[in-house]
Amino acid sequence: MAQSIAPDVIATSGTSFNDGTSQLDWTLGEPVTATFSMGSDILTQGFHQPNLLATAINNMETDYSVLVFPNPSIDYIQLQFQNLKETVTVELMSSEGRLLQSKEVDSTNELQLDMSKYAAGTYLLSVKDSHSKVKTYQVIKLN
């Protein structure tokens, strides 16, 4: 055996549904996959790991902190800043990297972003200061 594989996949989007009798898994960004089965063992070309949830990505040390809630959200997300002493830029991006909203926050310690017009899915929220330090959060939008 020349290689080994782990039961996970990194893709732009996807989820898993299970109603007790049936299970449906899907990912976006993978080619068509084939499934092989032998008895109760099933092997596919792509694996799903529905328990993987990243809530912060590449956070750099900053003098301020950010609390993002509620997450998951249905209609809005609230940002609360602590020790914010400079203007920061808040950007909401789709999972494809498309900029959806951009706002500057200065001495205000709170910001509310409307999520009601967006489809259910995963979004990235970035907070960038004047020193190009970025905090990025994964935000999940529900229906």
pLDDT score for 34: 63
pLDDT at 92 over 90: yes
Count of residues in the chain: 143
**Two tokens at 138?**
């994964």
Handedness of CA 37, 41, 1, 52 (dihedral sign): positive
Handedness of CA 58, 62, 65, 68 (dihedral sign): negative
Counting beta carbons within 10 angstroms of the beta carbon of residue 15, is it exposed (0 to 12), middle (13 to 18) or buried (19 or more)?
Answer: middle
Of residues 63 and 76, the one with the higher pLDDT is 76
**Two tokens at 76?**
């809005």
12 vs 138: CA distance, rounded Å: 12
**DSSP category for residue 64:** S
- Please tell me the least confidently modeled range out of 24-28, 43-47, 74-78, 93-97: 43-47
Of residues 36 and 126, the one with the higher pLDDT is 126
Q: What is the mean pLDDT of residues 83-99?
A: 89
pLDDT at 11 over 60: yes
Q: What is the mean pLDDT of residues 78-90?
A: 90
Does residue 79 contact residue 68 with C-beta atoms inside 8 Å?
yes
Task: Name the average pLDDT for the chain.
Answer: 77
pLDDT score for 48: 47
Q: What is the mean pLDDT of residues 15-37?
A: 68
Architecture field, domain 56-141 = Sandwich (2.60)
- Please tell me the least confidently modeled range out of 32-46, 58-72, 97-111, 112-126: 32-46
- Residues contacting 99, CB < 8 A, separation 6+: 91, 92, 93
Of residues 49 and 89, the one with the higher pLDDT is 89
Q: Which residue has the tokens 């602590």?
A: 82
CA 48 vs. chain centroid, Å, equals 16
The domain segmentation of the chain, as residue ranges, is: 1-52, 56-141
